[in-house]
Chains A and B, each alone.
Chain A
């Protein structure tokens, strides 16, 4: 992915091209102006966690972030596993605190007892 795209929106990245100057000795006066953008931090790439060979016999945590409807969606997914992949153990958890707050205790529990996570953000 282009660093410019990472810095800004797709639209902005596509548009972030200097316009060719309409310069000539008799053309309009040119000015040098300061780029007003701040300085983004470099992006530290995070290697993705190894995948499982199968979900059968594994424990999958369904994590509700608290947005409206997330719980309804995840309970339907829980039911889908019951119908289609009964060998999967499914554990539903609502993340503690409002959606924007971290829940380190839940992450600790999942790391200790779970094999995979499905996290749902409704709206």
Chain B
């Protein structure tokens, strides 16, 4: 803008703020710090922050703010130009144990042992695609930082490390090409999920039967893990305090929620067909949100012969943040029952869930995400939030802004009739075939 500025940040985000300024080209930005947190404090408590010292420097906070705007610039402050950034040599040579240690210490791993990406194994992995080793696959950003780019060879290194077989590589490349990282900088500890559709599920022997979401098949386990390793390595995500701020973290980040849809046992069209692909296409679809909850916690027992899964699902949604959508993972027994109830399409069930999962405006406004994300949209006039914020507190509104925020896939071994539901938003579907 060409106007002097003084950013104020709470102390908890000191490293993040300083690194962000440096990576964005202003390494000497005059950032001032307040104690942490600011939220939940009374005006009197915050006044004490303002009248007190900057907790990082110990100097009076407001003197620092005024100085930030008025003290003349140094020569370094005025510097322009371009700084090249290195991430180390293209290869390392050492004994296997030393290399495991090196990769661990350099933050290349998920802190579990890896398959070392030797040149031979990386070359073998790249035989799983017709793409050239130096072809650029995409760009991935760690939160708000500028995105990094990467080649087929760089993607292959993470795929090897995760334990993928070369025949899995087109799926890994498809995920990489999306630019979606499975580690996100938010303090909210996001979780990520992928849905695999098409004949490749059987060709690679994905598990979509008993224990579909568990550690019971190599492609489910390793492709999910590869996504997280790529997010750390290709996008530089997952560095606590820098590119990762999730307060509690999320155990699902180890290998993400990998769902191969049980297409043959589903009474409905597969997810990728809903998204405009042909049934014979191989597609990976990506989701992000906060996690997955089991259907057993919902009101309405599956032991009841009159069990109504639509009501169960709606009940599961009641604790979900509307900032993200919902992804129902229905066992085929659940899906069959729902079809018997008259839901002969996914769309019919989604429409019912959208209209019947509701909340009062008062409850809605009390939710953290509403203030942080929806209220600013309402102020700008964006719908439906602008209308919702004008309604009385006892008015009843949908839990999700749009019916399209709800998605359904079918997976599971039919040993019992349980659904699970993720507070997860659909992001993108990517052709796997393009990366073969």
**A interface residues (Cβ-Cβ under 8 A, vs B):** 1, 3-12, 15-16, 18-19, 21-23, 27-55, 60, 66-70, 72-73, 75-77, 79-80, 84-85, 94-100, 107, 110-111, 114-123
Shortest beta-carbon distance from A110 to chain B in Å:
6
Complex-state Cα separation, A23 to B99, whole angstroms: 13
B299 at the interface (CB under 8 A from A): no
Give the residues in chain A near B375, CB-CB below 8 Å. 66
- B41 near A31 (CB under 8 angstroms)? no
Q: A38-B149, A43-B24, A80-B51 are in contact. List 14 more A-B contacts (CB 8 A).
A: A8-B239, A9-B15, A9-B241, A16-B106, A19-B102, A48-B77, A52-B70, A68-B368, A85-B66, A95-B376, A116-B6, A122-B39, A123-B38, A123-B39
B352 at the interface (CB under 8 A from A): no
Complex-state Cα separation, A117 to B37, whole angstroms: 22
> Dominant SS at the A interface?
loop
Give the residues in chain B near A5, CB-CB below 8 Å. 22
- A18 near B108 (CB under 8 angstroms)? no
B296 at the interface (CB under 8 A from A): no
Give the residues in chain B near A48, CB-CB below 8 Å. 4, 26, 28-29, 73, 77-78
- B106 near A72 (CB under 8 angstroms)? no
Interface residues of B in 164-186 (CB under 8 A from A): none
Give the residues in chain A near B380, CB-CB below 8 Å. 96-97
Candidates B34, B97, B108; contact of A73 at CB < 8 Å: B34
> Dominant SS at the B interface?
mixed
Candidates B27, B89, B150, B372; contact of A68 at CB < 8 Å: B372
Give the residues in chain B near A60, CB-CB below 8 Å. 69
Give the residues in chain B near A117, CB-CB below 8 Å. 1, 3-6
Shortest beta-carbon distance from B362 to chain A in Å:
19
Closest A residue to B125 by beta carbon equals A34
Complex-state Cα separation, A49 to B77, whole angstroms: 9
Shortest beta-carbon distance from B134 to chain A in Å:
11
Cross-chain pair count, CB within 8 angstroms:
321
Closest B residue to A81 by beta carbon equals B62
- B70 near A22 (CB under 8 angstroms)? no
- A118 near B5 (CB under 8 angstroms)? yes
Give the residues in chain A near B87, CB-CB below 8 Å. 4, 7-8, 35, 37-40
Stretch at the interface among B204-212, B227-235, B255-263, B417-425: B227-235
Complex-state Cα separation, A96 to B41, whole angstroms: 24
- A31 near B4 (CB under 8 angstroms)? no
Candidates B13, B15, B49, B98; contact of A10 at CB < 8 Å: B15
Stretch at the interface among B152-160, B276-284, B286-294: B152-160
Closest B residue to A39 by beta carbon equals B149
Complex-state Cα separation, A122 to B13, whole angstroms: 10
Complex-state Cα separation, A60 to B62, whole angstroms: 14
**In the complex with contacts A6-B83, A32-B119, A42-B83, A123-B36 CB distance below 8 A:** yes
Q: Show 6 A/B contacts (Cβ-Cβ < 8 Å), sorted by A.
A: A21-B94, A33-B92, A35-B89, A38-B236, A75-B43, A94-B379
